[in-house]
Structure formats: structure tokens, C-alpha cells
Amino acid sequence: MVFKAQVFALTGVQPHRQKIMIKGSTIKPDAWEGIKLKDGSMILMMGSKDEDVPEEPTEKPTFVEDMTEDELNTAMELPVGIRNLGNTCYLNAVIQCLRSVPEIQDSIKKYEIKSDGSAIGGPMITVAIQDVFRFMDMGKTAIPIVFVDLFRTTFPRFAEVGEGGKYMQQDASECWTELFRLFQDVLPPKNKEKVDKKFSSSLVDQYFSGEFRCEWKCDESEEEEKQITYDRFQQLSCHISQEVKYLHTGLVARMKEQITKRSEKLDRDAVFTKSSKITRLPAYLSVEMIRFFYKEKEKVNAKILKDVKFPIILDVFDLCSEELQKKLIPYREKYKIMDDRLAEEEKDKKRGKFVDNKSKKLVTFPYSFPDDLGSSNSGFYELQAVLTHQGRSSSSGHYVAWVRFKGNEWLKCDDDQITPVSEEDILKLSGGGDWHIAYILLYGPRVLKLEESEVGEKEKEPVEEKMEVTNE
């Protein structure tokens, strides 16, 4: 082998390709048995080095250390981020969360501005966001100069300047609210004829708006008749108190509150108990964690750091009115079939039994009522995005979006830095310290998938938009 290595150094022929001959005899691959070498002996080596010399690659290799952020994300098949233009992380985080909603993203991409010159404000901002999405779809980090400028011009309070002439940090929740109001006027509903008339004015109303049935009872007068009102919402609130340790507890507490208002019977202000129940559930449910409160002395929006756990799967059935609950139950029974099957598959995996999901044909059911596209027909939601804040005040610190990517895979969207994270990392955003804390939770529809054998005959009728059959 030492000899063959020396020949390799002289000829470039790899040792395993060398055939060594002396006086017409071929020596064994690994020994000199029966061969007597003399000084000046002629040794013949036969072999080719053509296959051993690699051709120079047409594309030179790029190392991870030398890649730009965009190149790295493309290589890892990750989405790209949005450049921070100076305290615009609150805006970037909101855009990343909204981009996770297919209906919102699709509607913005298809939006066409009027050519009569009348389009200002909302339409212009929508086109600017469309441009941001276009760059991101191309795998390029978006640099939203036009969008940020239009946003600050349209909403001057987001253009506050601090010491040194730098733009100040803003509240992401307020930005979220303003963008939704803007989209409400700009984005048209989808299949308007299939939407409840009360929620058919825009895409936002269709997919994000719900309705409360509110019962008002005067605590200071039995003679005061109960009043019934209906309120629309685009976001639920979770007020954080000493008793609230879980999201659901905070949501339930919000459904019953005491409010002072005018009493017709007493002819004065009196305390009323307002009891609310949901009569319409939207397909997408956003929840704001009320973490900021104003400190008069310090004149700052201070932050509540308390740990409040939130689930990946959210069930709001008990927040609904009896009438809505009756409509939800038939669909919820199908979810139980799916959950029982998934639980059994999980048991089989733990026992070491092979579970072949690829060969299963699953029927995907719609998540809306047939006569109200954009609603939720089950009350089940799956966490889709989380907007977090790190810091002690809403006017300082840093905002980040955490978005579901594929299945249980998540992405941390920190401006133009996109990092894969796990579901466990998402659950750690519940608070309790100076780490990133959930501020807005965006829940999307939990998709119902049943095996063909689990579907009733009537439900197998091939009705468009009713269901879809796919291989898992």
C-alpha cells in the first residue's frame, strides 16, 4: 500500500485502480509474495485516472457562512422576512400574522386599484402591501419603504418622532386594529351570495367578525326590564387578573361584566350586569391579551408579565348561545370521530405498531356553515400565529411574529430574520418573565378530516366546496 501510494503521488491513479505487473506477472493487490525486486527492475502499472479527476462544477458551491439571509432561506425552503426601517417591528409582525391567513393574502394579491385617480389612503396602502407580498413570494426580503411611508401618512399618530428625530416604537395592537378597519373598506367579500347578509359587506366581516347577544339586567332595580342588544366583534379580549391563569378563564370572565349606565326606571345612572353569548363565530378568531395599563404617575403603558397559558387547540363552545350550540353539535360529533382515530393511532405508535397514513384517503370537510361562508361551524380553532412583545412598555421593546409553517413546524419571524422553532417554543410565549410574551393570538379553523369509511352515505355526494378527498 505504501508503494501504491507513492505511485499515486507520481501518476494520479488511485491505489484501488492500479494494476501492478513485473515480468508479465500481476502481483496481488496487497502483497509482494513470490516477487524479488532488484535495483533497476522495470515495473509496469496499468490504470486510468480519468474517472478519478472530478470536473469543475458549473456552479461554484456556496457555503452557509457566505450566504445572505435570502439565499439561506431559499436553500432551507423557508419564507423570507421584512426589513426593519427603524422601529417598524410592530408593523412587520402584524403583516406576517395577517399573511398567514390565505383568504387575506389571496384577496390582497388580487386587489386592483381604480385608475380614476380617486384611490387614496386604504387602496394605496393595500397596493403597497401587495408589493411587499410580491417580493416575499419571489424569495426576496421585503423592504417596505413605500408601505411604511403611506401608513405613517394615513395614520399620523404612528409617525411620532422622539429624541434625535427617530421614529418612536408603536403599539402593535393599535396597528392591527387600524389595518383591519382599512381592509374592511377595501377588500370585498368572497362568494357574497353564500354569506350571512349581516356579514357580507367585506372580507373582514365575513371571516373575522362575530356577534354577541347581550342581556342587560339592572342590579339596583327589579322593576327594570331586561334589555337585549347585539354587538359585533372582530377580536376577543382576555383581561388578566390574579385569578386568570389560563386563556379560557379570561375569556369566560369577559362574558359577564358590570357596567354603569342610565336606568330609565330609576332616572339615573345605575349598575347593570351585562351577560354576553356568541351568536356567530368567525372562521378566524383573534384574541388580545390585555397586558398593558396606563400608569398615571410614570405616564407610560406598563406591562403585566403574568404567565397565562394558552392552548394550541381552542374550544369556545361554552361561550356560545344555546341556539348556536345546537347548530354546532352535529359538526362537533364528527370531530370526535377524528379525535378518537388520532388518539388510537398515537397509542399504536407508542406500542411500536406501524401506522400507514400515506395510503389513507381522507375526506376534508368545510369549516363554515353552508349558508354562511366565513363562519365557524364547530367552535374548534387551531393556533395559527402569535404576535409577541418583549419589553416593559408598549411604546418600547420589540415585537415579533411566530407563524405556523407546515404541520407542527413554526417560524419565528423577527423582522428579516426567519428561524424555525418547535411547538414547544410557542407554548413558552405565555409570559412570566422578560422573554417574548404573547400579545395577540390568531386562531384559524381546525380542519376536519375523516376516513372515507367514517363518512355517511349522504355526505359522500360530490357537492363542490362541500368536501375534498385527498391522500394524507
Which sequence positions are flagged as catalytic? 89, 398
Phi then psi for 413, rounded to 5 degrees?
A: -100, 90
CA distances from 26 to 1, 22, 35, 43, 349 (A): 15, 7, 10, 10, 58
HSE-up (13 A, CA, CB side) for residue 418: 30
Q: Is 133 exposed, middle or buried (0-12, 13-18, 19+ CB in 10 A)?
A: middle
Concatenate the DSSP letters of all residues of 252-299 into one string.
HHHTEEEEEEEETTTTEEEEEEEEEEEEE-BSSEEEEEE-EEEETTTT
Concatenate the DSSP letters of all residues of 175-199 into one string.
HHHHHHHHHHHHSPPSSGGGS-GGG
Answer whether 438's CB lies under 8 Å from 388's CB. Answer: yes
Q: In what order do the strands lie in the sheet with 448-451?
A: 448-451, 361-365, 468-471
For 129, the grid coordinates are 402591501
Identity at 169, one-letter amino acid code: Q
Which of 435, 422, 412 lies closest to 307, judged by CA?
435
Residue 163's contacts (CB-CB under 8 Å, 6 or more residues apart) are: none
d(CA 63, CA 413) in angstroms, rounded, equals 23
Phi then psi for 421, rounded to 5 degrees?
A: -135, 170
Hunting for cell 396606563 — which residue is that?
294
d(CA 205, CA 258) in angstroms, rounded, equals 28
Hunting for cell 367578525 — which residue is that?
209
Phi then psi for 25, rounded to 5 degrees?
A: -105, 140
